[in-house]
Chains A and B, each alone.
Chain A
Protein backbone atom coordinates (compact mmCIF):
# COMPACT_ATOMS: atom_id res chain seq x y z
CA UNK A 1 0.00 0.00 0.00
CA UNK A 2 1.35 3.39 -0.87
CA UNK A 3 0.83 6.49 1.20
CA UNK A 4 -1.24 9.14 -0.54
CA UNK A 5 0.17 12.49 -1.60
CA UNK A 6 -2.12 14.19 0.88
CA UNK A 7 -0.70 12.30 3.84
CA UNK A 8 2.84 12.99 2.68
CA UNK A 9 2.01 16.70 2.42
CA UNK A 10 0.59 16.67 5.92
CA UNK A 11 3.65 14.94 7.31
CA UNK A 12 5.97 17.40 5.56
CA UNK A 13 3.95 20.32 6.95
CA UNK A 14 4.59 18.92 10.42
CA UNK A 15 8.29 19.02 9.70
CA UNK A 16 8.72 15.30 9.17
CA UNK A 17 11.28 14.42 6.52
CA UNK A 18 9.63 12.21 3.93
CA UNK A 19 11.70 10.41 1.28
CA UNK A 20 10.00 8.40 -1.39
CA UNK A 21 11.47 4.94 -1.85
CA UNK A 22 11.10 3.78 -5.40
CA UNK A 23 10.51 0.11 -5.66
CA UNK A 24 9.89 -1.94 -8.74
CA UNK A 25 7.14 -4.48 -8.55
CA UNK A 26 6.57 -7.26 -10.97
CA UNK A 27 3.02 -7.47 -12.26
CA UNK A 28 1.72 -10.76 -13.60
CA UNK A 29 -1.63 -11.73 -14.98
CA UNK A 30 -2.74 -15.18 -13.92
CA UNK A 31 -5.55 -16.28 -16.15
CA UNK A 32 -8.16 -16.17 -17.59
CA UNK A 33 -6.62 -19.33 -18.99
CA UNK A 34 -4.84 -21.26 -16.30
CA UNK A 35 -4.39 -24.90 -15.40
CA UNK A 36 -6.99 -24.97 -12.66
CA UNK A 37 -10.63 -24.11 -12.97
CA UNK A 38 -10.07 -21.30 -15.46
CA UNK A 39 -12.28 -18.38 -16.51
CA UNK A 40 -11.01 -15.89 -14.00
CA UNK A 41 -7.98 -13.71 -13.76
CA UNK A 42 -5.96 -12.58 -10.79
CA UNK A 43 -3.65 -9.65 -11.33
CA UNK A 44 -0.86 -9.97 -8.80
CA UNK A 45 2.00 -7.60 -8.05
CA UNK A 46 5.10 -9.26 -6.79
CA UNK A 47 8.10 -8.21 -4.79
CA UNK A 48 10.50 -11.03 -5.47
CA UNK A 49 8.06 -13.90 -5.09
CA UNK A 50 6.03 -12.29 -2.31
CA UNK A 51 2.61 -11.09 -3.39
CA UNK A 52 2.10 -7.46 -2.40
CA UNK A 53 -1.22 -6.90 -4.08
CA UNK A 54 -3.81 -9.16 -5.70
CA UNK A 55 -6.79 -7.98 -7.70
CA UNK A 56 -9.33 -10.62 -8.68
CA UNK A 57 -10.68 -9.80 -12.13
CA UNK A 58 -13.82 -11.86 -12.52
CA UNK A 59 -16.80 -11.84 -14.88
CA UNK A 60 -15.47 -13.92 -17.77
CA UNK A 61 -18.44 -16.28 -17.55
CA UNK A 62 -21.01 -13.72 -16.50
CA UNK A 63 -24.50 -14.22 -17.95
CA UNK A 64 -26.59 -11.59 -16.12
CA UNK A 65 -28.96 -14.23 -14.77
CA UNK A 66 -30.63 -11.65 -12.55
CA UNK A 67 -31.81 -9.79 -15.64
CA UNK A 68 -32.71 -12.88 -17.63
CA UNK A 69 -34.88 -14.20 -14.81
CA UNK A 70 -37.00 -11.05 -14.98
CA UNK A 71 -38.02 -12.06 -18.48
CA UNK A 72 -39.33 -15.59 -17.96
CA UNK A 73 -42.09 -17.31 -16.03
CA UNK A 74 -41.51 -18.17 -12.38
CA UNK A 75 -40.95 -21.83 -12.95
CA UNK A 76 -38.61 -21.33 -15.90
CA UNK A 77 -36.12 -19.48 -13.73
CA UNK A 78 -35.01 -22.78 -12.17
CA UNK A 79 -33.34 -24.22 -15.28
CA UNK A 80 -31.66 -20.85 -15.76
CA UNK A 81 -30.15 -20.37 -12.32
CA UNK A 82 -29.03 -23.95 -11.93
CA UNK A 83 -26.63 -23.36 -14.79
CA UNK A 84 -24.42 -21.18 -12.68
CA UNK A 85 -23.27 -24.25 -10.75
CA UNK A 86 -24.28 -27.30 -12.66
CA UNK A 87 -22.17 -29.44 -10.32
CA UNK A 88 -24.29 -28.26 -7.39
CA UNK A 89 -27.58 -27.66 -9.19
CA UNK A 90 -29.89 -28.98 -6.50
CA UNK A 91 -28.50 -26.79 -3.74
CA UNK A 92 -28.44 -23.58 -5.76
CA UNK A 93 -32.03 -23.81 -6.98
CA UNK A 94 -33.57 -24.86 -3.68
CA UNK A 95 -33.59 -21.42 -1.99
CA UNK A 96 -35.13 -19.86 -5.08
CA UNK A 97 -37.99 -22.32 -4.88
CA UNK A 98 -38.17 -21.79 -1.11
CA UNK A 99 -38.49 -18.05 -1.64
CA UNK A 100 -41.28 -18.56 -4.18
CA UNK A 101 -43.00 -20.95 -1.76
CA UNK A 102 -42.78 -18.29 0.94
CA UNK A 103 -44.47 -15.80 -1.35
CA UNK A 104 -47.17 -18.32 -2.28
CA UNK A 105 -47.60 -19.59 1.29
CA UNK A 106 -47.10 -23.09 0.08
CA UNK A 107 -45.50 -25.92 2.00
CA UNK A 108 -43.94 -28.91 0.27
CA UNK A 109 -45.06 -32.36 1.36
CA UNK A 110 -42.75 -34.06 3.84
CA UNK A 111 -41.81 -36.69 1.30
CA UNK A 112 -40.79 -33.98 -1.16
CA UNK A 113 -38.69 -32.35 1.56
CA UNK A 114 -36.87 -35.60 2.21
CA UNK A 115 -36.26 -36.13 -1.49
CA UNK A 116 -34.90 -32.61 -1.78
CA UNK A 117 -32.55 -33.16 1.15
CA UNK A 118 -31.46 -36.48 -0.31
CA UNK A 119 -30.54 -34.93 -3.65
CA UNK A 120 -28.90 -31.94 -1.95
CA UNK A 121 -26.58 -34.20 0.01
CA UNK A 122 -25.75 -36.33 -3.03
CA UNK A 123 -24.92 -33.05 -4.75
CA UNK A 124 -22.82 -31.80 -1.88
CA UNK A 125 -20.64 -34.91 -1.99
CA UNK A 126 -20.27 -34.71 -5.77
CA UNK A 127 -19.41 -31.04 -5.51
CA UNK A 128 -16.78 -31.61 -2.82
CA UNK A 129 -15.21 -34.42 -4.84
CA UNK A 130 -15.09 -32.15 -7.87
CA UNK A 131 -13.41 -29.53 -5.68
CA UNK A 132 -10.88 -32.12 -4.57
CA UNK A 133 -10.11 -32.99 -8.15
CA UNK A 134 -9.44 -29.38 -9.06
CA UNK A 135 -7.43 -28.93 -5.88
CA UNK A 136 -5.31 -31.90 -6.91
CA UNK A 137 -4.61 -30.24 -10.26
CA UNK A 138 -3.56 -27.05 -8.52
CA UNK A 139 -1.16 -28.87 -6.26
CA UNK A 140 0.22 -31.14 -8.94
CA UNK A 141 -1.31 -34.19 -7.27
CA UNK A 142 -2.84 -35.90 -10.26
CA UNK A 143 -4.07 -38.94 -8.31
CA UNK A 144 -6.44 -36.75 -6.32
CA UNK A 145 -7.79 -35.43 -9.61
CA UNK A 146 -8.40 -38.91 -11.03
CA UNK A 147 -9.90 -40.23 -7.81
CA UNK A 148 -12.07 -37.21 -7.16
CA UNK A 149 -13.55 -37.19 -10.61
CA UNK A 150 -13.88 -40.97 -10.67
CA UNK A 151 -15.70 -41.27 -7.34
CA UNK A 152 -17.88 -38.32 -8.21
CA UNK A 153 -19.41 -40.51 -10.93
CA UNK A 154 -20.89 -42.78 -8.26
CA UNK A 155 -22.95 -39.89 -6.94
CA UNK A 156 -23.78 -38.45 -10.32
CA UNK A 157 -25.18 -41.83 -11.23
CA UNK A 158 -27.27 -41.87 -8.07
CA UNK A 159 -28.60 -38.45 -8.99
CA UNK A 160 -29.33 -39.68 -12.49
CA UNK A 161 -31.33 -42.61 -11.21
CA UNK A 162 -33.27 -40.28 -8.94
CA UNK A 163 -33.94 -37.40 -11.34
CA UNK A 164 -33.25 -38.66 -14.83
CA UNK A 165 -30.22 -36.50 -15.49
CA UNK A 166 -26.64 -36.22 -14.29
CA UNK A 167 -26.28 -32.52 -13.62
CA UNK A 168 -29.07 -30.09 -14.40
CA UNK A 169 -31.95 -31.67 -12.55
CA UNK A 170 -34.62 -28.92 -12.38
CA UNK A 171 -35.97 -31.20 -9.68
CA UNK A 172 -37.82 -28.77 -7.43
CA UNK A 173 -41.18 -27.22 -8.20
CA UNK A 174 -43.13 -25.03 -5.80
CA UNK A 175 -44.73 -27.45 -3.35
CA UNK A 176 -42.75 -30.53 -4.27
CA UNK A 177 -40.44 -32.30 -6.63
CA UNK A 178 -40.89 -33.60 -10.14
CA UNK A 179 -40.12 -37.26 -9.64
CA UNK A 180 -40.40 -39.89 -6.97
CA UNK A 181 -37.48 -42.19 -6.30
CA UNK A 182 -37.41 -45.60 -7.99
CA UNK A 183 -38.27 -48.68 -5.91
CA UNK A 184 -34.72 -50.00 -5.70
CA UNK A 185 -33.09 -46.64 -5.03
CA UNK A 186 -32.47 -47.16 -1.28
CA UNK A 187 -30.33 -50.24 -1.92
CA UNK A 188 -28.25 -48.39 -4.50
CA UNK A 189 -27.82 -45.40 -2.23
CA UNK A 190 -26.68 -47.60 0.65
CA UNK A 191 -24.17 -49.32 -1.59
CA UNK A 192 -22.77 -45.97 -2.71
CA UNK A 193 -22.52 -44.86 0.92
CA UNK A 194 -20.64 -48.03 1.89
CA UNK A 195 -18.30 -47.60 -1.05
CA UNK A 196 -17.55 -43.97 -0.26
CA UNK A 197 -16.93 -44.67 3.43
CA UNK A 198 -14.21 -47.13 2.48
CA UNK A 199 -12.75 -44.70 -0.01
CA UNK A 200 -12.50 -41.93 2.59
CA UNK A 201 -9.76 -43.87 4.37
CA UNK A 202 -7.86 -44.11 1.09
CA UNK A 203 -8.19 -40.38 0.51
CA UNK A 204 -6.74 -39.72 3.91
CA UNK A 205 -3.79 -41.95 3.18
CA UNK A 206 -2.91 -40.53 -0.20
CA UNK A 207 -3.97 -36.90 0.16
CA UNK A 208 -4.63 -35.55 3.62
CA UNK A 209 -1.79 -37.32 5.42
CA UNK A 210 0.61 -36.88 2.52
CA UNK A 211 3.60 -34.91 3.89
CA UNK A 212 3.99 -32.94 0.66
CA UNK A 213 0.35 -31.84 0.67
CA UNK A 214 0.41 -31.06 4.39
CA UNK A 215 3.51 -28.89 4.10
CA UNK A 216 1.94 -26.94 1.24
CA UNK A 217 -1.32 -26.36 3.09
CA UNK A 218 -0.47 -25.95 6.76
CA UNK A 219 -0.33 -22.29 7.92
CA UNK A 220 -1.09 -21.08 4.41
CA UNK A 221 -3.82 -18.52 3.86
CA UNK A 222 -4.69 -18.21 7.53
CA UNK A 223 -7.95 -16.39 8.25
CA UNK A 224 -8.76 -15.73 11.90
CA UNK A 225 -12.28 -16.08 13.29
CA UNK A 226 -13.00 -12.36 13.53
CA UNK A 227 -11.39 -11.71 10.15
CA UNK A 228 -13.61 -14.38 8.60
CA UNK A 229 -16.71 -12.72 10.02
CA UNK A 230 -15.53 -9.33 8.83
CA UNK A 231 -14.93 -10.54 5.28
CA UNK A 232 -18.30 -12.29 5.24
CA UNK A 233 -16.92 -15.47 3.75
CA UNK A 234 -19.03 -18.63 3.72
CA UNK A 235 -19.07 -22.39 3.77
CA UNK A 236 -16.09 -24.63 4.54
CA UNK A 237 -13.85 -21.55 4.30
CA UNK A 238 -15.75 -19.98 7.19
CA UNK A 239 -15.99 -23.16 9.26
CA UNK A 240 -12.28 -23.79 8.74
CA UNK A 241 -11.75 -20.52 10.62
CA UNK A 242 -13.66 -21.63 13.68
CA UNK A 243 -17.03 -19.99 13.04
CA UNK A 244 -19.89 -22.37 13.77
CA UNK A 245 -22.23 -21.34 11.01
CA UNK A 246 -24.13 -23.57 8.68
CA UNK A 247 -27.55 -22.62 7.34
CA UNK A 248 -28.72 -26.20 7.88
CA UNK A 249 -28.03 -25.64 11.57
CA UNK A 250 -28.68 -21.93 12.13
CA UNK A 251 -31.87 -21.59 10.13
CA UNK A 252 -32.91 -25.14 9.24
CA UNK A 253 -34.83 -25.44 6.01
CA UNK A 254 -36.70 -28.47 4.63
CA UNK A 255 -36.29 -31.36 7.08
CA UNK A 256 -32.75 -30.70 8.30
CA UNK A 257 -34.03 -30.06 11.82
CA UNK A 258 -35.25 -33.66 11.99
CA UNK A 259 -32.01 -35.21 10.80
CA UNK A 260 -29.03 -36.18 12.89
CA UNK A 261 -25.77 -34.71 11.62
CA UNK A 262 -22.79 -32.75 12.81
CA UNK A 263 -21.26 -29.57 11.46
CA UNK A 264 -17.48 -29.95 11.39
CA UNK A 265 -15.59 -26.85 12.54
CA UNK A 266 -11.83 -26.40 12.59
CA UNK A 267 -10.07 -23.63 14.48
CA UNK A 268 -6.80 -23.30 12.55
CA UNK A 269 -8.14 -21.18 9.68
CA UNK A 270 -5.51 -22.36 7.19
CA UNK A 271 -5.82 -24.13 3.86
CA UNK A 272 -5.45 -27.53 5.51
CA UNK A 273 -8.32 -26.84 7.92
CA UNK A 274 -10.59 -25.84 5.04
CA UNK A 275 -9.74 -29.07 3.24
CA UNK A 276 -10.42 -31.12 6.34
CA UNK A 277 -13.81 -29.45 6.80
CA UNK A 278 -14.83 -30.58 3.34
CA UNK A 279 -13.57 -34.09 3.97
CA UNK A 280 -15.57 -34.33 7.21
CA UNK A 281 -18.63 -32.89 5.50
CA UNK A 282 -18.63 -35.74 3.01
CA UNK A 283 -18.85 -38.18 5.94
CA UNK A 284 -21.76 -36.25 7.44
CA UNK A 285 -23.56 -36.12 4.10
CA UNK A 286 -23.24 -39.89 3.83
CA UNK A 287 -25.00 -40.19 7.21
CA UNK A 288 -27.78 -37.89 6.03
CA UNK A 289 -28.28 -39.88 2.83
CA UNK A 290 -28.76 -43.05 4.90
CA UNK A 291 -31.28 -41.40 7.18
CA UNK A 292 -33.19 -39.92 4.25
CA UNK A 293 -33.52 -43.17 2.34
CA UNK A 294 -34.57 -44.97 5.54
CA UNK A 295 -37.40 -42.49 6.01
CA UNK A 296 -38.39 -42.52 2.35
CA UNK A 297 -38.53 -46.31 2.34
CA UNK A 298 -40.94 -46.32 5.29
CA UNK A 299 -43.26 -43.62 3.95
CA UNK A 300 -44.00 -44.55 0.40
CA UNK A 301 -47.66 -43.53 0.30
CA UNK A 302 -47.31 -39.78 0.55
CA UNK A 303 -47.29 -37.87 -2.77
CA UNK A 304 -44.20 -35.89 -3.77
CA UNK A 305 -46.15 -32.69 -4.27
CA UNK A 306 -48.28 -30.73 -1.83
CA UNK A 307 -51.54 -32.52 -1.02
CA UNK A 308 -53.82 -29.78 -2.36
CA UNK A 309 -51.89 -29.82 -5.65
CA UNK A 310 -52.13 -33.58 -5.90
CA UNK A 311 -55.90 -33.53 -5.47
CA UNK A 312 -56.20 -30.96 -8.26
CA UNK A 313 -54.37 -33.14 -10.78
CA UNK A 314 -56.52 -34.44 -13.67
CA UNK A 315 -57.13 -38.19 -13.88
CA UNK A 316 -54.57 -38.71 -16.64
CA UNK A 317 -51.84 -36.97 -14.66
CA UNK A 318 -52.69 -38.96 -11.55
CA UNK A 319 -52.45 -42.23 -13.46
CA UNK A 320 -49.10 -41.23 -14.88
CA UNK A 321 -47.85 -40.41 -11.39
CA UNK A 322 -49.08 -43.71 -9.94
CA UNK A 323 -47.46 -45.65 -12.76
CA UNK A 324 -44.12 -43.87 -13.21
CA UNK A 325 -43.65 -41.60 -10.20
CA UNK A 326 -43.38 -38.62 -12.52
CA UNK A 327 -45.26 -35.38 -11.89
CA UNK A 328 -46.38 -33.81 -15.14
CA UNK A 329 -46.72 -30.07 -14.80
CA UNK A 330 -50.03 -28.43 -15.56
CA UNK A 331 -50.11 -25.46 -17.95
CA UNK A 332 -51.55 -23.39 -15.08
CA UNK A 333 -48.42 -24.08 -13.05
CA UNK A 334 -46.20 -22.84 -15.82
CA UNK A 335 -48.02 -19.54 -16.23
CA UNK A 336 -48.81 -19.18 -12.52
CA UNK A 337 -49.02 -15.81 -10.82
CA UNK A 338 -47.28 -15.26 -7.53
CA UNK A 339 -48.80 -12.91 -4.93
CA UNK A 340 -46.93 -9.61 -4.59
CA UNK A 341 -44.30 -9.43 -1.88
CA UNK A 342 -40.64 -9.76 -1.03
CA UNK A 343 -38.97 -12.86 0.26
CA UNK A 344 -35.47 -13.91 1.14
CA UNK A 345 -34.26 -17.47 1.40
CA UNK A 346 -30.92 -19.12 1.93
CA UNK A 347 -29.47 -22.58 1.86
CA UNK A 348 -26.15 -24.25 2.49
CA UNK A 349 -24.76 -25.22 -0.89
CA UNK A 350 -21.56 -27.22 -1.31
CA UNK A 351 -19.32 -24.16 -1.21
CA UNK A 352 -21.34 -22.28 1.38
CA UNK A 353 -24.39 -20.20 1.89
CA UNK A 354 -26.42 -19.14 -1.13
CA UNK A 355 -28.79 -16.23 -0.74
CA UNK A 356 -31.83 -15.24 -2.80
CA UNK A 357 -33.97 -12.15 -2.67
CA UNK A 358 -37.13 -12.52 -4.73
CA UNK A 359 -39.66 -9.78 -5.34
CA UNK A 360 -43.02 -10.21 -7.01
CA UNK A 361 -45.43 -7.60 -8.31
CA UNK A 362 -48.17 -10.17 -8.75
CA UNK A 363 -47.31 -10.97 -12.35
CA UNK A 364 -46.39 -14.12 -14.23
CA UNK A 365 -42.69 -13.26 -14.06
CA UNK A 366 -40.49 -12.22 -11.13
CA UNK A 367 -40.03 -8.48 -10.66
CA UNK A 368 -36.54 -8.97 -9.27
CA UNK A 369 -34.38 -11.95 -8.46
CA UNK A 370 -31.17 -11.27 -6.62
CA UNK A 371 -28.80 -14.14 -6.04
CA UNK A 372 -25.53 -14.14 -4.15
CA UNK A 373 -23.56 -17.33 -4.47
CA UNK A 374 -20.90 -18.74 -2.13
CA UNK A 375 -18.06 -18.14 -4.59
CA UNK A 376 -19.17 -14.54 -5.06
CA UNK A 377 -18.84 -14.05 -1.32
CA UNK A 378 -15.48 -15.81 -1.11
CA UNK A 379 -13.83 -13.87 -3.95
CA UNK A 380 -12.84 -11.22 -1.41
CA UNK A 381 -10.30 -13.71 -0.02
CA UNK A 382 -8.09 -13.17 -3.07
CA UNK A 383 -7.88 -9.48 -2.41
CA UNK A 384 -7.60 -9.48 1.36
CA UNK A 385 -5.90 -12.71 2.34
CA UNK A 386 -3.54 -13.56 -0.52
CA UNK A 387 -1.18 -10.52 -0.20
CA UNK A 388 1.81 -11.42 1.94
CA UNK A 389 2.03 -14.98 0.69
CA UNK A 390 4.45 -16.44 -1.79
CA UNK A 391 3.28 -16.87 -5.34
CA UNK A 392 3.42 -20.65 -4.99
CA UNK A 393 0.85 -20.42 -2.19
CA UNK A 394 -1.73 -18.85 -4.48
CA UNK A 395 -2.88 -22.14 -6.07
CA UNK A 396 -3.11 -23.69 -2.60
CA UNK A 397 -5.34 -20.88 -1.34
CA UNK A 398 -7.39 -20.84 -4.54
CA UNK A 399 -8.02 -24.57 -4.31
CA UNK A 400 -8.70 -24.53 -0.59
CA UNK A 401 -11.55 -22.02 -0.87
CA UNK A 402 -12.94 -24.13 -3.73
CA UNK A 403 -13.59 -21.10 -5.88
CA UNK A 404 -15.81 -21.84 -8.88
CA UNK A 405 -15.88 -19.02 -11.49
CA UNK A 406 -19.27 -19.62 -13.17
CA UNK A 407 -20.88 -19.62 -9.74
CA UNK A 408 -19.25 -16.33 -8.75
CA UNK A 409 -20.05 -14.64 -12.07
CA UNK A 410 -23.68 -15.77 -12.28
Chain B
Protein backbone atom coordinates (compact mmCIF):
# COMPACT_ATOMS: atom_id res chain seq x y z
CA UNK B 1 0.00 0.00 0.00
CA UNK B 2 1.35 3.39 -0.93
CA UNK B 3 0.96 6.58 1.08
CA UNK B 4 -1.55 7.79 -1.50
CA UNK B 5 -3.60 4.60 -1.20
CA UNK B 6 -3.53 4.82 2.58
CA UNK B 7 -4.83 8.39 2.44
CA UNK B 8 -7.68 7.20 0.22
CA UNK B 9 -8.55 4.34 2.57
CA UNK B 10 -8.56 6.71 5.55
CA UNK B 11 -10.69 9.22 3.69
CA UNK B 12 -13.25 6.55 2.94
CA UNK B 13 -13.21 5.13 6.44
CA UNK B 14 -13.50 8.44 8.30
CA UNK B 15 -15.98 10.02 5.90
CA UNK B 16 -17.39 13.18 7.45
CA UNK B 17 -15.36 12.73 10.64
CA UNK B 18 -12.38 14.23 8.85
CA UNK B 19 -12.44 17.81 7.68
CA UNK B 20 -9.35 17.30 5.62
CA UNK B 21 -7.10 14.40 4.65
CA UNK B 22 -3.91 15.20 2.85
CA UNK B 23 -0.39 13.94 2.30
CA UNK B 24 2.43 15.86 3.91
CA UNK B 25 6.14 15.04 3.78
CA UNK B 26 6.32 11.43 4.83
CA UNK B 27 2.97 11.20 6.58
CA UNK B 28 -0.79 11.53 6.21
CA UNK B 29 -2.42 14.52 7.86
CA UNK B 30 -5.99 14.35 9.07
CA UNK B 31 -7.74 17.40 10.49
CA UNK B 32 -10.90 16.86 12.47
CA UNK B 33 -13.23 18.98 14.59
CA UNK B 34 -13.23 19.14 18.37
CA UNK B 35 -16.30 17.04 19.06
CA UNK B 36 -15.33 14.36 16.57
CA UNK B 37 -11.81 13.63 17.70
CA UNK B 38 -12.67 10.58 19.81
CA UNK B 39 -14.81 9.04 17.07
CA UNK B 40 -12.13 9.64 14.46
CA UNK B 41 -9.51 8.17 16.77
CA UNK B 42 -11.71 5.11 17.35
CA UNK B 43 -12.06 4.61 13.61
CA UNK B 44 -8.28 4.80 13.21
CA UNK B 45 -7.76 2.36 16.05
CA UNK B 46 -10.18 -0.09 14.43
CA UNK B 47 -8.13 0.17 11.26
CA UNK B 48 -5.12 -1.07 13.23
CA UNK B 49 -3.31 2.05 14.41
CA UNK B 50 -2.48 0.76 17.85
CA UNK B 51 -0.09 3.25 19.42
CA UNK B 52 0.70 6.95 19.66
CA UNK B 53 4.20 8.04 18.74
CA UNK B 54 3.81 11.60 19.85
CA UNK B 55 1.25 14.13 20.87
CA UNK B 56 2.50 17.26 19.18
CA UNK B 57 1.13 20.72 19.73
CA UNK B 58 1.94 23.75 17.61
CA UNK B 59 1.02 27.27 18.62
CA UNK B 60 -0.32 29.70 15.98
CA UNK B 61 -0.84 32.99 17.85
CA UNK B 62 -1.85 34.92 14.70
CA UNK B 63 -4.74 32.57 14.06
CA UNK B 64 -5.47 32.33 17.77
CA UNK B 65 -5.28 28.56 17.80
CA UNK B 66 -3.24 25.63 18.97
CA UNK B 67 -3.11 22.56 16.82
CA UNK B 68 -2.86 19.31 18.75
CA UNK B 69 -1.75 16.34 16.65
CA UNK B 70 -1.70 12.68 17.60
CA UNK B 71 0.95 10.96 15.52
CA UNK B 72 -0.09 7.35 15.41
CA UNK B 73 1.12 4.19 13.74
CA UNK B 74 0.89 0.43 14.09
CA UNK B 75 3.06 -2.27 15.60
CA UNK B 76 0.96 -5.32 15.02
CA UNK B 77 -0.10 -4.67 11.41
CA UNK B 78 3.05 -4.71 9.39
CA UNK B 79 1.67 -2.98 6.28
CA UNK B 80 0.55 0.00 8.39
CA UNK B 81 3.75 0.20 10.42
CA UNK B 82 5.46 1.86 7.45
CA UNK B 83 3.32 4.96 7.82
CA UNK B 84 2.68 7.66 10.34
CA UNK B 85 -0.70 9.30 10.50
CA UNK B 86 -1.24 12.64 12.20
CA UNK B 87 -4.73 13.19 13.60
CA UNK B 88 -5.10 16.88 14.34
CA UNK B 89 -7.60 19.06 16.08
CA UNK B 90 -7.58 22.85 16.39
CA UNK B 91 -8.43 24.41 19.72
CA UNK B 92 -8.73 28.10 20.64
CA UNK B 93 -5.69 29.53 22.36
CA UNK B 94 -7.56 31.17 25.21
CA UNK B 95 -9.54 28.09 26.21
CA UNK B 96 -7.87 24.96 24.87
CA UNK B 97 -9.79 21.85 25.84
CA UNK B 98 -9.38 18.49 24.12
CA UNK B 99 -11.13 15.24 24.90
CA UNK B 100 -8.47 12.84 26.16
CA UNK B 101 -7.58 9.80 24.07
CA UNK B 102 -5.86 7.89 26.87
CA UNK B 103 -8.70 5.35 27.31
CA UNK B 104 -8.28 4.54 23.62
CA UNK B 105 -4.52 4.79 23.34
CA UNK B 106 -2.76 4.15 26.65
CA UNK B 107 0.50 5.23 25.08
CA UNK B 108 -0.72 8.86 24.91
CA UNK B 109 -0.80 9.29 28.68
CA UNK B 110 2.59 10.87 29.25
CA UNK B 111 2.52 12.89 26.03
CA UNK B 112 -0.78 14.50 26.94
CA UNK B 113 0.73 15.48 30.26
CA UNK B 114 3.58 17.07 28.34
CA UNK B 115 1.29 19.07 26.07
CA UNK B 116 -0.69 20.13 29.16
CA UNK B 117 2.33 21.58 30.91
CA UNK B 118 3.95 23.19 27.87
CA UNK B 119 0.86 24.62 26.16
CA UNK B 120 -1.81 24.62 28.84
CA UNK B 121 -4.06 22.39 26.77
CA UNK B 122 -6.52 20.73 29.10
CA UNK B 123 -7.30 17.08 28.34
CA UNK B 124 -10.78 16.36 29.58
CA UNK B 125 -11.00 12.99 31.30
CA UNK B 126 -7.26 12.36 31.55
CA UNK B 127 -6.62 10.01 34.49
CA UNK B 128 -3.64 11.87 35.88
CA UNK B 129 -3.23 15.34 34.39
CA UNK B 130 -0.31 17.09 36.08
CA UNK B 131 3.04 18.46 34.92
CA UNK B 132 5.54 15.80 33.89
CA UNK B 133 8.88 17.46 33.23
CA UNK B 134 8.58 20.97 34.64
CA UNK B 135 8.05 22.18 38.18
CA UNK B 136 4.48 23.50 38.65
CA UNK B 137 5.53 27.18 38.79
CA UNK B 138 7.33 26.95 35.46
CA UNK B 139 4.56 24.90 33.89
CA UNK B 140 2.17 27.78 34.67
CA UNK B 141 4.10 29.91 32.17
CA UNK B 142 3.29 27.56 29.26
CA UNK B 143 6.80 27.80 27.95
CA UNK B 144 6.34 26.32 24.49
CA UNK B 145 3.75 28.89 23.48
CA UNK B 146 5.11 31.45 21.06
CA UNK B 147 4.55 34.41 23.39
CA UNK B 148 6.94 33.00 25.97
CA UNK B 149 10.27 34.53 25.03
CA UNK B 150 13.50 32.89 26.11
CA UNK B 151 15.71 35.59 27.55
CA UNK B 152 19.33 34.84 26.91
CA UNK B 153 21.63 35.63 29.78
CA UNK B 154 24.66 37.75 29.03
CA UNK B 155 28.03 36.55 30.21
CA UNK B 156 28.18 39.14 33.00
CA UNK B 157 24.59 38.82 34.08
CA UNK B 158 24.32 37.53 37.59
CA UNK B 159 27.94 38.24 38.37
CA UNK B 160 28.20 40.44 41.52
CA UNK B 161 29.19 44.06 40.92
CA UNK B 162 32.61 43.89 42.51
CA UNK B 163 33.73 41.48 39.81
CA UNK B 164 32.61 43.67 36.93
| Residues of chain A having any CB pair with chain B under 8 Å | 58-59, 62, 64, 66-68, 71, 99, 102-103, 225-226, 228-233, 238, 243-245, 250-251, 341-346, 353, 355, 357, 359, 367-368, 370, 372, 376-377, 379-380, 383-384, 409-410
Contacts and interface: CB of A to CB of B under 8 A. Distances in A.
B76 A346 contact: no
Nearest to B29: A342
A355 B53 contact: yes
A191 B69 CA distance: 47
A123 to B, nearest CB: 22
Task: Name the residue in A67, A102, A233, A343 with the highest tally of chain B Cβ atoms < 10 Å from its Cβ.
Answer: A67
Contacts, number: 109
A372 B50 contact: no
A230 B29 contact: no
Given A250-B81, A370-B56, A384-B106, A58 B76 contact: no
A380 B53 CA distance: 13
B9 interface: no
A71 B144 CA distance: 12
Interface string B48-90: 0011111010110000000001010011101001111010000
Contacts of B47: none
Given A67-B143, A368-B58, 14 more contacts: A62-B134, A68-B150, A102-B26, A230-B106, A232-B51, A232-B108, A251-B81, A342-B24, A344-B27, A353-B53, A355-B84, A372-B54, A372-B111, A380-B110
A230 B51 contact: yes
Contact of B76 (A68, A233, A243): A243
Contact of A251 (B82, B134, B144): B82
Contacts of B59: 368
Nearest to A353: B53
A230 B133 contact: no
B25 A343 contact: yes
Interface in B111-152: 111, 118, 131-135, 143-144, 148, 150
A358 to B, nearest CB: 9
Chain B: interface size category = 35 or more
Interface of B: 24-27, 29, 50-54, 56, 58-59, 69, 71, 74-76, 78, 81-84, 86, 105-111, 118, 131-135, 143-144, 148, 150
A321 B58 CA distance: 40
B51 A229 contact: yes
Contacts of B71: 344, 355, 357
Nearest to B149: A71
15 contacts: A59-B131, A59-B134, A66-B144, A71-B150, A229-B74, A229-B75, A231-B107, A233-B107, A244-B78, A250-B78, A342-B29, A344-B86, A357-B54, A357-B56, A368-B59
A143 B78 CA distance: 40
B75 A376 contact: no
| Interface secondary structure of A, over-half rule | mixed
Contacts of B81: 245, 250-251
Contacts of A64: 143-144
Nearest to B114: A376
A238 B110 contact: no
A58 B110 CA distance: 11
Contacts of B78: 244, 250
Contacts of B54: 355, 357, 370, 372
A59 B110 CA distance: 12
A59 B52 contact: no
A380 B107 contact: yes
Task: Name the residue in A66, A238, A353 with the highest tally of chain B Cβ atoms < 10 Å from its Cβ.
Answer: A66
B50 A59 contact: no
Contacts of B109: 380, 383
Nearest to B131: A59
A229 B26 contact: no
A152 B110 CA distance: 32
Contacts of B132: 58-59
B57 to A, nearest CB: 8
